[in-house]
């Protein structure tokens, strides 16, 4: 089964429910970038969690180009800035958690 064009509203609601940092949406730039990456990643209908990671990486680049920001900026907003309370951990830990959350959202939208 695939997720056919989930609405950004659905994605925002799911992100709001899952992102542990309650003030994550206080920054318009962060919210826009996170929602865009999530929407583009989930809309690609990944077949596996591993494929989702690859798709997310490429969609971050698309969002970077669309919004005219550095890729590192998008990566930071979809990682460290969402899970800062963890303190100093490797960046891939942040992205792993973000990908797990996107996979969970994708699975929920499929049902």
pLDDT tens for 13-39 read 999 999 988 888 899 999 999 999 999
Number of domains into which the chain is organized: 1
The average confidence (pLDDT) of the chain is 89
2 located within any domain: no
Question: Can you give the residue range of the structural domain that contains 60?
Answer: 8-110
- Judged by DSSP in three states, 91 sits in helix
Report long-range pairs for 42-49 (Cβ below 8 Å, ≥24 apart).
42/3, 42/6, 42/11, 42/102, 42/105, 42/106, 42/109, 43/3, 43/5, 43/6, 45/2, 45/3, 46/103, 46/106, 49/99, 49/100, 49/103
Structural domain includes residue 83: yes
What's the average model confidence in pLDDT over 81-96?
75
- Whether 3 maps to a domain, the answer reads no
8 A C-beta contact, residue 64 and residue 70: yes
Question: Is 1 a member of any domain?
Answer: no
pLDDT of 60 higher than 80: yes
- On whether residue 84 sits in a domain, the answer given is yes
pTM comes to 0.90
| Residue among 95, 78, 89, 97 nearest 24 (CA) | 78
Residue 1 confidence class, pLDDT cut points 50, 70, 90: very low
Region 39-56: what's the mean pLDDT? 96
């Amino acid at each position: 089964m695939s997720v056919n064009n989930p609405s950004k509203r659905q994605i925002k609601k799911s992100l709001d429910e899952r992102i542990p940092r309650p003030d994550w949406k206080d920054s318009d730039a962060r919210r826009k970038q996170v929602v865009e990456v999530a929407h583009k990643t989930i809309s690609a209908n990944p077949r596996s969690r591993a494929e989702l990671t690859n798709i997310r990486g490429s969609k971050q680049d698309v969002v970077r180009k669309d919004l005219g920001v550095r890729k590192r900026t998008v990566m930071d907003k979809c990682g460290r800035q969402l899970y800062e309370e963890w303190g100093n951990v490797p960046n891939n830990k942040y992205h792993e958690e973000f990908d797990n959350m996107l996979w969970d959202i994708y699975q929920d939208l499929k049902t």
